[in-house]
Amino acid sequence: MTRINQNSYERLIDENEIRIDGRKLDELRPINIEVGILTNAYGSALLHHGKNKILAAVFGPRELHPRHLALPDRALVRCEYRMTTFSVEERKSPAPSRREIELSKVIRESLEPAIFTHLYPRTSVDVFIEVLQADGGTRCDGITAASTALADAGVPLRDLVVACAVGKVEGHILLDLDDIEDKKGEADMPIAILPRNKEVTLLQMDGQLSREEFQRALDLAIKGCEQIHEMQKEALRKKYSEIQEEVLEELNEFSEKEENQD
Ligand code: CDP
């Protein structure tokens, strides 16, 4: 959320309220979500969002190591958000940065309210988020990808968690800031919600908004989250309808063989 001298760039929003990448003020970047792409994880999701590419893998509920961390009444949720060295323009050091440690905590806290942890005492649910390519809003995409991967892993959830950022750039309230808008803008506000009851599990803000701007930004973020939530559900449905088709095909083959034997 680094701010940059406003004078060092040309305008990001033109007189027709069109953004530098051609989007309207309330438009999301193109999004594609795939689930179940890693065979070794219990659940996984790959999220393409504009230029962001984020991979999430979930392991658990499973036996917890080291055992002394075990919680007697619920599962321990652990989260690791990492940026690959090649994910940003300047090579990112492979050592965990303060930012990555902070984002791991923030993402874990935004996912945890959705998980029925009390069903799995003394176990762990481990969430790994790898940013393969970054262009602003990676904490939000990490949350969206991770909650889709949790659902893919079959972890019981109150709801999916879905996140997106809103902000203020050149006086306009914008949905889904990319890297340059995040850096040049006056304010940036990442938000995560449980869409069913609109419970907010993450709300951060860098910069300043008036009370009226805050309300408009929040409403816009919720609309953005609702759109992304539809894509999460669609990605999960797609995988399971493919599995259903495979199972039905196998059942058909099996019953044909049985009939031939009779
Ligand atoms: O990614 P997010 O907006 O959640 O977090 P941020 O700390 O506000 O970072 C904004 C953007 O800065 C990232 O998405 C990356 O595109 C970029 N960044 C970078 O270029 N180098 C870093 N070491 C960290 C972030």
Cβ within 8 Å of residue 161, ≥6 positions away? 110, 111, 114, 143, 144, 146, 147, 192, 193, 194, 201
Domain count, the chain: 1
Is 84 within a domain?
yes
**Ligand 1: which residues within 6 Å by Cβ?**
1, 88-89, 92, 99, 134-139, 179, 182, 190
Residue owning the nearest CA to atom 23 of ligand 1: 92
CA of 50 to the centre of ligand 1 (A): 14
The predicted pLDDT at position 242 comes to: 84
Is 8 within a domain?
no
| The model's pTM | 0.93
CA of 243 to the centre of ligand 1 (A): 37
Q: Distance between the two ends of the chain, CA-based, in angstroms?
A: 70
Give the position, in ligand 1's atom list, of the atom nearest the Cα of 206.
Answer: 8
Is 1 within a domain?
no
Kindly report the CATH number assigned to the domain that includes residue 227: 3.30.230.70
Is 206 within 8 Å of 1 (Cβ atoms)?
Answer: yes
Is 150 within a domain?
yes
- 53, amino acid identity: K
Give the position, in ligand 1's atom list, of the atom nearest the Cα of 142.
Answer: 4
Pocket test for ligand 1, best of 101, 169, 179 (most atoms within 8 A of CB): 179
Residue owning the nearest CA to atom 13 of ligand 1: 136
Residue 212, judged by CB atoms within 10 A of its CB (0-12, 13-18, 19+), counts as exposed
Q: CB atoms < 10 A from the CB of 115, how many?
A: 23
Is 105 within a domain?
yes
- Which ranges of the chain have pLDDT less than 50? 6
Q: CB atoms < 10 A from the CB of 169, how many?
A: 24
Give the position, in ligand 1's atom list, of the atom nearest the Cα of 134.
Answer: 16
Residue owning the nearest CA to atom 11 of ligand 1: 136
Q: Which two tokens stand for residue 75?
A: 């599962």
Scanning the structure block, which residue is given the tokens 């949350």? 143
Residue owning the nearest CA to atom 21 of ligand 1: 88
The predicted pLDDT at position 9 comes to: 53
Q: Which two tokens stand for residue 93?
A: 């050091």
List 77's β-bridge partners, or say none.
125
CA of 134 to the centre of ligand 1 (A): 7
The predicted pLDDT at position 186 comes to: 97
Is 260 within a domain?
no
Is 44 within 8 Å of 152 (Cβ atoms)?
Answer: yes
Crossing angle for the helix pair 211-261 and 138-152, nearest 10 degrees? 30
Residue owning the nearest CA to atom 2 of ligand 1: 137
CA of 150 to the centre of ligand 1 (A): 24
Is 6 within a domain?
no
CA of 29 to the centre of ligand 1 (A): 16
Is 45 within a domain?
yes
Which residues form the domain of 44?
Answer: 14-255
The predicted pLDDT at position 1 comes to: 54
Cβ within 8 Å of residue 60, ≥6 positions away? 42, 75, 120, 123, 124, 125, 126, 153, 155
Pocket test for ligand 1, best of 98, 138, 139 (most atoms within 8 A of CB): 138
